[in-house]
Amino acid sequence: MSTSRLEAFSDGVLAIIITIMVLELRPPEGHVEFADLQRLTPVAISYVLSFVYLGIYWNNHHHMLHVTQRATGGILWANLHLLFWLSLVPFVSGWMGENHFAPVPTSVYGVVLLLAAIAYFILQQVIIAAEGNHSVLAAAVGSDWKGKLSPVLYLVAIPTALWYPLVACAIYAFVAIIWLVPDPRIERMVAETESPEPE
Amino acid sequence: MSTSRLEAFSDGVLAIIITIMVLELRPPEGHVEFADLQRLTPVAISYVLSFVYLGIYWNNHHHMLHVTQRATGGILWANLHLLFWLSLVPFVSGWMGENHFAPVPTSVYGVVLLLAAIAYFILQQVIIAAEGNHSVLAAAVGSDWKGKLSPVLYLVAIPTALWYPLVACAIYAFVAIIWLVPDPRIERMVAETESPEPE
Amino acid sequence: MSTSRLEAFSDGVLAIIITIMVLELRPPEGHVEFADLQRLTPVAISYVLSFVYLGIYWNNHHHMLHVTQRATGGILWANLHLLFWLSLVPFVSGWMGENHFAPVPTSVYGVVLLLAAIAYFILQQVIIAAEGNHSVLAAAVGSDWKGKLSPVLYLVAIPTALWYPLVACAIYAFVAIIWLVPDPRIERMVAETESPEPE
Amino acid sequence: MSTSRLEAFSDGVLAIIITIMVLELRPPEGHVEFADLQRLTPVAISYVLSFVYLGIYWNNHHHMLHVTQRATGGILWANLHLLFWLSLVPFVSGWMGENHFAPVPTSVYGVVLLLAAIAYFILQQVIIAAEGNHSVLAAAVGSDWKGKLSPVLYLVAIPTALWYPLVACAIYAFVAIIWLVPDPRIERMVAETESPEPE
């Protein structure tokens, strides 16, 4: 069975998740000044952060399924598991933004990011297990320092958020930037430290 | 006429149904403690249960249409009929979760599951009728003990919910697990009891 | 340019329209009896009617684009025009249902159905103009008695709704049934009356 | 990597954006007269304007990706950047409509249109850079007078809206009409003025 319908369904769910977040942006009726927009700033920042995260997930998901030959039952469920955690992003994003990055919502935001990262890792392993260690994906993943560093950073940010929520937000933003800006130098350096053979 | 657009449309509807359920998860504004998340527990449990159910339906739908050669008018309408009942899942799921598994909503949840199961059965029969008894689907369905057991369990759960709603929930969860965990031993055992010929 | 992306986009919009209607089904919080469901009856009837209408449109749209060879600029815009009127169905459906089929909402519901029917007719003509009179679509449309009868019935129902809204609803339901039940006898009879040549 | 999944995801997001706008159309409960519809007029006008804009974007996006050979990482992100600004259209559209084209919301509406136009321009340049100057897209874009005129008009409309919001709306509508009505005479005239070689 090919992965085309799996991709179509995932695209649909990710498209909806990324779009319904905008429903959180609601200025109270009758407020029509620039100051009313300013009050939305935390919600807007939270929206941008979550939009970028979902974009990164869509992007990586896209590449991962591109090199996947066929969809097994395990892959279907590992994929749904990932979509489940991503589907909670609009909820925690709205909670965090509307409450101006209060400690608990900011911490819970990190928990959802962590669980989504774990779900992504599981999906990756299930695909590699199905495709074999010599598959394109296994080679492409390589040392996967980003995939290993991100959960560690989330684990740091989650308790930090309870005292310094803005520091936690900065960590979330930093992780997003790691994924956005693919600096080949860092990648090579980390790759050399971890595995001596060339990618 | 091929089934590709039927699949695309169904994927779209299922993706939306599975995603808009998350809109039910709404902590009241200004509540930013872990305790506020705890109060959402019944809604979250209801969400997980419904997410899994819709995932199962998508999964089975995926497999069923994969072996369907062409879409007739009857198949299109039987498919829309199934989507109709599934579209009610977010409504009953939210009603049940928000009211902490009160008797009537929990019972109505079972009614919707039952009607969706019947609609799925009808769709399956319409496809087999169109494809012929020697089709791949007719062979793949086989004795279909899961498809036969599920409605019976729903029929038990629906009245039970009016007195013991949590027992009904346990039954719903049990049915979901039956579909999730494909134990080949049970499948073979049931298959042997029901039909002597090998699948 | 092929019609595949046009179909994908239309499927997406139709899938969303058909699904967000269910968001109208909202029992007030804390109401957990069967009587509370009963109070939703008009909204539910309105939902079923609109679901069937959108299903019919999706079905016909599916068939029409199936025989369309390529998408011109005119076809893209005629298609968006149709989607525009269909996008208003959830709004008028909710308005009609929530107000228990009050005269004005029921009449406005018919106006939207009429405008959607006109938009569908325009799309059909634009496609035939692009494909040529000897195209498959031109032959398939034939005398198109359903497409001609429906607007007439809507035109009857729209003023009728202001005095007898339930009669108008019956007319809407009747039109839906005409499209749902393809009685070949009636079709042949009407075809013979209108055009002597065989289809 | 082909652009098919990029198109599918973009179609999904655009379909959702264009459809959730209709959720802004909400008559207050218990209001069932034609006058209640009349009060919705500004929201409806705003909806039509935004629907047409999103239709134009979908249409142009469709054509641009049609001549794009393969999706690079840069194209994926430039595309997400465009979708981000378009995702804000329902928000500003609702804000503008519900407040009867008040100065600030009308001005902010123009800001979002401007940023979406810039994002579209960036996406176009990224694709041309990836495909090469002799690509089909580079030739098709040509002098691109519409793409150059639109931002100028938005820049005029944004401050104008603070004093004469209806004039700004007229400018927004005028830009939409420029894109909708492809007058070959004007196109040729402008093309001749700007570039002597034939397209």
ipTM at complex level: 0.85
Question: Which chain A residues are closer than 8 Å to D17 by Cβ?
Answer: 19, 22
Q: Give pLDDT, residue B130.
A: 84
Per mean pLDDT, which of A25-29, C71-75, C189-193, D89-93 is the most reliable?
A: D89-93
How near does any CA of chain D get to the CA of C90, in Å?
8
pLDDT band at D143 (very low <50, low <70, confident <90, very high): low
Lowest mean pLDDT segment, chosen from B64-78, C74-88, D37-51: B64-78
Burial of C74 (0-12, 13-18, 19+ CB in 10 A): middle
CA distance D60 to D62: 5
- State whether residue A22 sits within 8 Å of chain B by CB: no
CA distance D198 to D195: 8
Contact B11 A17 (CB under 8 A): no
Cβ-based contacts under 8 A for chains A and D? 73
Question: Which chain D residues are closer than 8 Å to C98 by Cβ?
Answer: 29
- State whether residue C77 sits within 8 Å of chain D by CB: yes
Per-residue pLDDT tens digits for C115-127: 999 999 999 889 8
C10: tokens are 């239309």
Facing B19 at nearest CB: one of A87, A99, A104: A87
Q: Which residue of D has its CA nearest to C77?
A: D55
Tell me the pTM: 0.88
Question: Which chain A residues are closer than 8 Å to B182 by Cβ?
Answer: 73
How near does any CA of chain A get to the CA of D80, in Å?
7
CA distance D11 to C175: 32
- C169-198 as b/e, with b when 16 or more CB fall inside 10 Å? bebbeebbebbeeeeeeeeeebbeeeeeee
Question: Which chain A residues are closer than 8 Å to B14 by Cβ?
Answer: 9, 12
Burial of C70 (0-12, 13-18, 19+ CB in 10 A): exposed
pLDDT band at C31 (very low <50, low <70, confident <90, very high): confident
pLDDT band at B50 (very low <50, low <70, confident <90, very high): very high
pLDDT band at C182 (very low <50, low <70, confident <90, very high): low
Per-residue pLDDT tens digits for B17-40: 998 888 878 766 677 788 888 888
* Backbone angles phi and psi of A76, in degrees to 5: -55, -45
CA distance D66 to C103: 48
pLDDT band at D7 (very low <50, low <70, confident <90, very high): confident
A33: tokens are 């000044």
Cβ-based contacts under 8 A for chains B and C? 74
Contact B13 C15 (CB under 8 A): yes
- State whether residue A16 sits within 8 Å of chain B by CB: yes
Q: What's the mean pLDDT in C133-162?
A: 81
Per-residue pLDDT tens digits for A129-168: 887 766 666 666 666 778 888 999 999 999 999 999 999 9
Look up tokens 């100065």; give the residue.
Answer: D103
A108: tokens are 């819970």
Q: Give pLDDT, residue B6.
A: 86
Question: Would you tell me how many other CB atoms lie within 10 Å of the CB of residue C159?
Answer: 12
Closest CA to D65 of D7, D132, D9: D7
- State whether residue D51 sits within 8 Å of chain A by CB: no
How near does any CA of chain D get to the CA of C97, in Å?
11
Facing A19 at nearest CB: one of D16, D77, D108: D16
pLDDT at D51 over 90: yes
Facing A58 at nearest CB: one of D9, D84, D105: D9
Facing B104 at nearest CB: one of C20, C32, C59: C32
Which of A198 and A70 is assigned the larger pLDDT? Answer: A70
Question: Which chain B residues are closer than 8 Å to A110 by Cβ?
Answer: none
pLDDT band at A53 (very low <50, low <70, confident <90, very high): very high
Contact C37 B12 (CB under 8 A): no
CA distance B54 to B11: 11
Q: Round to the nearest angstrom and report the end-to-end CA distance of chain B.
A: 30
Per-residue pLDDT tens digits for A74-124: 888 999 999 999 999 999 999 999 889 999 999 999 999 999 999 999 998
Look up tokens 């409960």; give the residue.
Answer: D29
Contact B29 A77 (CB under 8 A): no
Q: Give pLDDT, residue A109.
A: 95
Q: Give pLDDT, residue D170.
A: 95
Contact D22 C77 (CB under 8 A): no
Question: Which chain B residues are closer than 8 Å to A83 by Cβ?
Answer: 18
What phi-psi label fits residue D114: left (phi over 0), alpha (psi between -120 and 50 degrees) or beta? alpha
- State whether residue B13 sits within 8 Å of chain A by CB: no
Look up tokens 């990710």; give the residue.
Answer: A14
Facing B1 at nearest CB: one of C8, C58, C66: C66
Question: Which chain A residues are closer than 8 Å to B180 by Cβ?
Answer: 77
Contact D20 A16 (CB under 8 A): no
- State whether residue A177 sits within 8 Å of chain D by CB: no
Facing B33 at nearest CB: one of A9, A20, A104: A104
Q: What's the mean pLDDT in B91-112?
A: 93
- State whether residue D8 sits within 8 Å of chain C by CB: yes
Q: Which residues have CB under 8 Å from A107's CB, separation 6+?
A: A157, A158, A159, A161, A162, A165, A168
Look up tokens 């990262």; give the residue.
Answer: A117
Q: What's the mean pLDDT in C6-32?
A: 83
- State whether residue D16 sits within 8 Å of chain A by CB: yes
C63: tokens are 């068939």
Cα–Cα distance list, B1 to A198, B68, B70, B72, C157 (Å) = 50, 11, 5, 7, 35
Closest CA to C74 of C9, C131, C8: C131
Look up tokens 């004795």; give the residue.
Answer: B143
Which of B53 and B141 is assigned the larger pLDDT? Answer: B53
